[in-house]
Amino acid sequence: MRNDTGKVWLVGAGPSDPGLFTLKGKTVLEQADVVVYDALVGTGVLHMIPDTAEAIDVGKRSSHHTMPQEKINELLVQKAREGKRVVRLKGGDPFLFGRGGEELELLVKERIPYEIVPGIPSAISVPAYQGIPVTHRDFCSSVHIITGHKRAGMPYDIDFEALVRTKGTLVFLMGAAALGDICRGLLAGGIRPDCPAAFLMRGTTAGQERITATVETLEEAVQKHGVKTPAIIVVGEVCALADTFAWYEKLPLGGVRVLLTRPKELISGTAAKLRELGADVLELPAIRTVKTDRNERLYQAFEKLEQYQWLVFTSPAGVRIFFEEMEQKQMDVRRFGQIRIAVIGSGTKKELEKHGLYADLIPEVFDGEHLGKALADAAEVGDQILIPRAAVGNPELTDALCRALKQLEIDDIPTYDTEYETDGMTDVKAELQSGGVDYVVFTSASTVRGFAAAADGSDFAAVKAVCIGKQTKAAADAYGMQTWMAKQATIDSLLECLVKVHQEQ
């Protein structure tokens, strides 16, 4: 517990697409001690919650509240009084039907410091992702956002006639259950029966759907299709532009939900590339790297670093941890002397270059066997080779070196372990069972095993697995998954493979 006064930030998370989360919101969230979040916050944003923060799900939906609003208000005060940095994370914008004002009332009364971080509202972003501009000079000059929620058994406290007279675009939030009442109210208020209208479901996600009709026919069209929430209702001439302006589903992976398994420290870059292609990314950091404590073997290797002719890295994590240990021991990179460096692939090469060093050798095919063969050809008789890597390293590398018959001296030193983990934000089994995942992307055999552990008991035969290399593919094959393999063991090649597979499917 801190002694200083805590503070509360009311942060709008925007719609489900994490790319629409504001930079300020992300900065505040990354510094949080406590995060109190709603059910409508997208999983991509939830994955930005720091591991060190206490995450509290208050799960507010229209028909079910995990925690009453009054209790949420009290919780914010309680955590702030403990000296914590408290983030109240809300879908959309906290002041647009987000009850942010109610939460502020108690904070003001209790003299708790606070800030507001606005979010992009679904009333604007969801239509935009469906090709509907809420204003257009040729059609309207105003937009009106109305709550579609009403108390059970009570009439709407909405002046539908006044709304119709504005001749503007009308956006109803939280109105899925009252669609019929809304349409009838508008018709009674004098709107044209053939006025274009749209029912937009699960906006800014791969599962987004659009039903376009007229005010008179929208309820029937939605009943035939079926309702999926969250959903918003848009009424106005601009709805007629949806088919012309639609863009999201035209992206290479538009409408595709991808489960990405990578170590947490590496997942964001790949997720960003997937989202650029239009994918809705469900992040599952299925493994994490744990540095070996008091690694005496590595420290002994440091003492004789000048004696090695080759230093070999087989992963970005191996590079990162090696240099962390060097920094801890206050070792200067000039100790490398004439040592040559070999790396397994482009990702490891990029990580090495962060330290101002460039690889002398990289195999044409990015795997342990081809690295071993290339290194065996390049090495001289009696060369000493240092390989700092995972505790369970691929034996194909050292096997290829041993077959070289050059009397090579190999120090194969474990510098980290790979552990399976989940962050508790994703119920993998439920996602698979509901058909909520189109493809799973694997970047190593370890991520396959981590995924299998998180989804234990699932039907893996239904999993479409896109794999970075043959060892990864073999691991997925062992679980009976449907598998495809990238031409090269690179992230870009992996994504090209995914796009091709999806187009063929």
Give the CATH number of the domain where residue 383 resides.
3.40.50.10090
Instruction: Respond yes or no: is residue 485 known to be catalytic.
Output: no
Q: What pLDDT is recorded for position 119?
A: 96
Q: How confident is the model at residue 367 (pLDDT cuts 50, 70, 90)?
A: confident
Q: Which of these is catalytic: 33, 93, 174, 349?
A: 174
Nearest 5°: the CA angle 431, 433, 437 is 45
CA quadruple 185, 191, 195, 200: dihedral positive or negative? negative
According to DSSP, the β-strands at 169-173 and 231-235 are antiparallel
Q: Alpha-carbon distance 295 to 163, whole Å?
A: 71
- DSSP E strands in 262-337: the ranges are 280-284, 287-291, 310-313
Counting the structural domains of the chain, the total is: 4
Indicate if 51 and 82 belong to the same structural domain.
yes
Q: What pLDDT is recorded for position 485?
A: 96
Q: Which of these is catalytic: 48, 60, 79, 90?
A: 60
Q: Which amino acid is at 340?
A: R
User: Does 491 have pLDDT greater than 70?
Assistant: yes
Q: Which of these is catalytic: 17, 38, 383, 438?
A: 38
Last residue of a domain, one of 353, 384, 418: 418
Range of the domain at 341: 291-418
Residues in the chain: 505
Which residues is 289 bridged to in the sheet? 418
The verdict on residue 2 lying in a domain is: no
CB atoms within 10 A of CB 158: 18
User: Does 56 have pLDDT greater than 50?
Assistant: yes
Indicate if 269 and 369 belong to the same structural domain.
no
Indicate if 408 and 384 belong to the same structural domain.
yes
Instruction: Respond yes or no: is residue 157 known to be catalytic.
Output: no
User: Does 117 have pLDDT greater than 90?
Assistant: yes
Instruction: Respond yes or no: is residue 60 known to be catalytic.
Output: yes
Indicate if 413 and 303 belong to the same structural domain.
yes
| pLDDT tens profile 133-184 | 999 999 998 999 999 877 666 777 889 999 999 999 999 998 898 999 999 9
Across the chain, mean pLDDT equals 90
The arithmetic mean of pLDDT across residues 36-40, rounded, is 91
